[in-house]
Amino acid sequence: MANYLALPSTGLTLEWNQPTGEPACRARLRWENEGWTAEIELASERATAVLRLSATWTVQQFLLFRDMEDPDLWLATDGRGRWGEMHGSERRELDGCVDIDIAGTPFTNSIAIHRLQLDVGDSADILIMHIDIETLAIERLLQRYTRTGPSTWRYPSLSLGAAVDVEVDEHGLVIDEPGSFVRSPSGG
């Protein structure tokens, strides 16, 4: 099993375009308080998602900003698979979810890939929450991640509604998602 390189402590910025060349999203990662903060600008949704990740790339918090200074959605986990809103409401329907997937970015898939570090040919099923940016609806989905080669993976694309084969970089971060996203050379 090949481990992915750690991200530089100075952080990293990644940008993806749509296949048409129009901007799709930008992910800025920065190290702070012994974990990673990923700020994802979703161009087509005019929204920003912020994920707080542990040092081992486990999702701890999720904030979604659309048209206000305060988050429209703010979820946090207790680290044991229980989720709730930051004002205290439990979200029991999300219990067991490990990751968050958003259709407007391949970065959320990179979180699972970077963390899993499976051997080639191995798969892992992960219970995720898919968040609809427009309606704030949350759907629980079981997604299978399969490592198909040293730097290739297969997973279900929410953008396409079908499984895709992707290549990842030395950090385990998705480069391109065929039919949906093309990483910009200027964005890492």
Separation between Cα atoms, residue 51 and residue 14, nearest integer Å: 15
Percent over 90 (pLDDT), the chain:
67
Rounded alpha-carbon distances, angstroms, from residue 13 to 131, 134, 169: 23, 25, 13
Q: What is the pLDDT of residue 106?
A: 94
Amino acid at 70: D
In three-state secondary structure terms, 63 is strand
Separation between Cα atoms, residue 24 and residue 42, nearest integer Å: 6
Q: Of the candidates 134, 148, 180, which has an alpha carbon nearest to the alpha carbon of residue 161?
A: 180
Q: What is the mean predicted confidence (pLDDT) over 78-89?
A: 82
Q: What is the mean predicted confidence (pLDDT) over 2-6?
A: 81
Q: Given a cut of 80, is residue 69 above it in pLDDT?
A: no
Q: What is the mean predicted confidence (pLDDT) over 63-92?
A: 85
- Pull the structure tokens for residue 73: 């959605």
Q: Of the candidates 106, 148, 108, which has an alpha carbon nearest to the alpha carbon of residue 128?
A: 108
Rounded alpha-carbon distances, angstroms, from residue 54 to 31, 87, 112, 187: 10, 21, 12, 23
Q: Of the candidates 67, 90, 86, which has an alpha carbon nearest to the alpha carbon of residue 75?
A: 86
Q: pLDDT tens digits for 162-180?
A: 899 999 999 999 999 999 9
Model confidence at 156, pLDDT cuts 50, 70, 90, reads confident
Q: What is the pLDDT of residue 146?
A: 97
Q: For the residues of 102-130, what is the DSSP string, one character each?
A: -TT-SHHHHHHHHHH-PPTT-EEEEEEEE
